[in-house]
Amino acid sequence: MKVSRVGVIGAGTMGEAVIASIIRFGITPSNITFVEKREERALEIKKKYGLSRGSLEKCDVIFLVVKPQDLEKTLGSLSGSIPSSCLLISFLAGKKIDSIEAQLSNAARVIRVMPNTPMTLAEGMSALSAGKRATAEDIEWVSNFLASAGKVIVVPENQQDAVTALSGSGPAYFFAMVEAMARAGEKLGLSKEDSMIAAQQVLIGAAAMVKKSGKDPKTLRENVTSPNGTTHAALSVFENRDFPTTVYEAMEAARNRSIELSK
């Protein structure tokens, strides 16, 4: 699949992550155009990346990165400028492919992606699902693009809600854990600054071990848990509070909300 010109609709946090990833993937800024309704934000993105604003008519690929609730209004205002021959890649949580296809031409090729914010650092986790008119070449191009910004899996669309609960919302779970650990460190006597530094580095170091050690998380956990030691004491509290069930229920709530958003 030859891609000469790329468009991005929406330049918020994830939209900017997409733009940075497109450039990193090898598309020159002069071949990228974007649409952003907030004038101040648009000027910021234009200055930072050297992109042009406006017409999508010559784009081979268009990324749709707006809020889910803005889908209908956005496509309604831009449908006339979206080429029927382009591939539209939706980053909208909870919005099904058929609802997007219904608002475009009969020739619309749509791929749905659930990314996450670590994509900004090329450490993202993305899952893609293809619409009925998307080709094998489309899937290959999008897979390669997403792989340049982290890891990617291809899943049936009916699994996207579970992906949303796991990796789409997942970074926030770990951010919340760092917040909680830092506050606990303060209560145990550490300074606010030292406690936050330690909590942040624990997350970074643990993630690096999961990624680079070649060992599964269960083995890594067991390796640092001496019988009746300090780690064992802490993990026993988690176990007594049924930590796995709490995690499941939290992810189930995220999954259910994703389903609600698709209706």
User: What is the pLDDT, as a whole number, of residue 105?
Assistant: 67
Block means of pLDDT (10 residues each) for the chain, 263 residues, are: 90 92 93 94 94 88 91 82 89 88 81 93 95 95 95 96 96 97 98 98 97 96 96 96 96 93 77
Residues paired with 9 in a beta bridge: 35, 64
| Helix-helix angle 136-147:13-25, to 10 degrees | 100
User: What is the pLDDT, as a whole number, of residue 82?
Assistant: 86
Question: What whole-number distance in Å separates Cα of residue 243 and Cα of residue 94?
Answer: 27
Please list the residue range(s) of the chain that carry CATH number 1.10.3730.10: 170-261
CB 107 within 8 A of CB 138: no
Question: What whole-number distance in Å separates Cα of residue 31 and Cα of residue 59?
Answer: 9
CATH superfamily of domain region 6-155: NAD(P)-binding Rossmann-like Domain (3.40.50.720)
Fold of 170-261: ProC C-terminal domain-like fold (1.10.3730)
CB 8 within 8 A of CB 18: yes
User: What is the pLDDT, as a whole number, of residue 75?
Assistant: 83
Length of the chain: 263
Please list the residue range(s) of the chain that carry CATH number 3.40.50.720: 6-155
